[in-house]
Structure 1
Amino acid sequence: MDLIKTIVISAIMLLVGLLMDLLPGLILILAPFLLLPAVYLFCKDKRGFYLMSGIVITISLIAFDLFALQVIIGTLLAGYLIGRLLEARASKEYMLFALTTFLSLYSLASIIFMQLMDLMPTTKEWFSNIKDSYMTMVEAELGKDNISRENIQLFNTALDQLQLQVPGVIVLLAFLLSLISLLIVMPLLRNLKIAVPEFRPLYFWRVPKTALYIYVIAVLIKLFLSPEDVVLLGIVTNLQYVLEWIIFIQGISLISFFIKVKRTPVIINILMFIFAFIMAPVTQLLGMLDLIINVKARIKL
């Protein structure tokens, strides 16, 4: 075991925990770099990684608040995941899918846990407060007929729709964080003498078919749940959001492959991608079809 590397990485992770405890806002700057020390130590010295993880988690439990602890645990688990995938020589896009799935589920699970422990308000409470503040502001204007009840109803409807999009936004942010982290960390790991893969072109990306199976299972489970099954319904719904996004990426990959093979004009390419994002359910359906019957192999060159 390389004791020096273990001590140095332990000190770095504890410093990260301290910064998250004192200045949580720094997560916006540090997040893309957090994978580096954990993945590096895992690839160089597994026993050192396990020892470091035990030390850092123990001290974090004692010294830091819940947010800092969650960041530390999430970083160590993500580092372990990417380290294992590097060992298995997985493709970089596979790492992107795996890391996105992990960060999405971990973030959503952490939020649900804090809400169950009454450490964080639910999204319903957040948006209820916004509605109450809005109604307080418009009451006087309503009496003067400066604002109509139709406008108020429109605002409430828009807010309800926004509330439904919160899990999807979290998944999107997890995807962007995963992408940026891999783009930053992989070249740094290569400079540290660790073999890392390159991103293949988008049209070659392929989501593991397991994602489709899990998605179908999640949808079927959700059909038999009632609104009273709050925790399980929340878990299944959030898992569905994550998998829908991953299948959407597969649909984008299929469209990219079609564009590459058919050599369509640039303006057509742009319109196709715009349509793909506007009509996300259609793109997800294309992704499902590609996973089921491998549409790319059937497109003639």
Structure 2
Amino acid sequence: MSFKVDIKATIVATILLALCMVIINFVPILAIIILPFVTVPATILWYRSKPSFFVTVVVTLCVTVLFSNVYLLTIMALMIFMSVFIGQLLIERTSKERILYLVTAFMSILTIGSVLILQIVGKLPLASELISRYHDLVVSYFEMGGTFNSDVEKTLQASLDILQASIPGYIIFWVFLLVLVNIVVTFPILRKFKIATPVFRPLFMWQINRSVVSVFVVVVLMSLFVTKENVVLYGIVTNLQYVLEWVIFIQALSLFHLFVKVKKLPIVVAVLIFIIAFIFKPIAYLFGLMDIWFNLKQRIKK
């Protein structure tokens, strides 16, 4: 690898990243529009000149620190990691769908890990604290109406427990959407800079490596023996399980898509199948696991 820094590219990329950082810092709502494009400068540099990339990252993060905004620093660090993942996968000529789920998996782990760290240092409230506040608010509402009793309390607590357990899943879902939008809107831009980018193959052609099943089984077995008292290990196992479940769910959708195509089912039926898959996710997970391990698609084709 050459250690020559492209001065012009480094300056341009640094200015663009700094501009994005300033806008997000002063107008946070615009982050929704800006974030999908933040990876473009860093991805181009990682693809073309890693020394230029490292210089840009160091300067950008140093400037970010000056704002004394830990949330902004976290966001910029995550987007830089995302640029590295995407850039490296493009160098390796990885398929577009594989980029999607690999980057989603990596970024989900990093994002959830960042949230846990921010909670540990007291920069973000614990999910249990937010749930507790919401619980007290709902209880007060029912008490004012005179309808609060033990049955309501049990139902409310069960609902809140489900909500708290689902928080990592929601984070993964939003990370997936961010990665998907990023790939869709930035790859045409990257092609303008003569960076080869793949195109999405049809969903029915997506195939996840068998190793995912092995890792998933290990994680599920570990979850049976890890208790909430072991905070760090419990958090790692639980969140990794959520990430793998989403990957397996995508494989299930791929299987269903092939079934729809082979049977030449109407669009209405296809949409209904996908809706049912989202409603009954555990069953979809089972189909996804079976497809990964036994290659059910080959059987459907035959």
TM-score (norm 2): 0.92
Which stretch of structure 1 is more off in the superposition, 127-136 or 50-59?
Answer: 50-59
Q: Is the 8 A contact 1:9 1:37 kept in 2?
A: yes
**For 1:198, what is the secondary structure of its paired residue?**
coil
Structure 1 match to 2:165: 164
Instruction: Find the partner of 2:53 among 27, 30, 49.
Output: 49
Which stretch of structure 1 is more off in the superposition, 189-198 or 55-64?
Answer: 55-64
Q: Is the 8 A contact 1:17 1:71 kept in 2?
A: no
2:213 is aligned with what amino acid? L
Q: 5+ unaligned residues in a row in structure 1: which ranges?
A: none
Structure 2 match to 1:276: 277
Instruction: Tell me the CA shift for residue 294 of structure 1.
Output: 1.4
Q: Please give the per-residue CA displacement for 1:222-280, whole angstroms capped at 9, x wherever unaligned.
A: 22212210121011101100110110000110111111122233343233222211211
1:11-90 aligned within 5 A: 11-90=15-94
Q: Is the 8 A contact 1:3 1:48 kept in 2?
A: yes
Q: Please give the per-residue CA displacement for 1:132-157, whole angstroms capped at 9, x wherever unaligned.
A: 12222332321xxx565534543333
1:143-182 aligned within 5 A: 150-182=151-183
Q: Percent identity?
A: 35
Aligned residues: 298
Structure 2 match to 1:118: 122
RMSD of equivalent CA atoms: 1.8
Which stretch of structure 1 is more off in the superposition, 231-240 or 53-62?
Answer: 53-62
**For 1:199, what is the secondary structure of its paired residue?**
coil
Aligned partners of 2:228 and 2:296: how far apart in 1?
A: 38
Structure 1 match to 2:244: 243
1:286 is aligned with what amino acid? F
Instruction: Find the partner of 1:129 among 118, 123, 133.
Output: 133
Which stretch of structure 1 is more off in the superposition, 37-46 or 4-13?
Answer: 37-46
Q: Is the 8 A contact 2:252 2:291 kept in 1?
A: yes
Structure 1 match to 2:96: 92
TM-score (norm 1): 0.92
Q: 5+ unaligned residues in a row in structure 2: which ranges?
A: none
Aligned partners of 2:255 and 2:278: how far apart in 1?
A: 13
Aligned partners of 1:247 and 1:15: how far apart in 2?
A: 38
Say whether residues 1:203 and 2:207 are aligned partners: no
Aligned partners of 2:196 and 2:268: how far apart in 1?
A: 39
Instruction: Tell me the CA shift for residue 281 of structure 1.
Output: 1.0
Q: Is the 8 A contact 2:139 2:148 kept in 1?
A: no
Structure 1 match to 2:14: 10
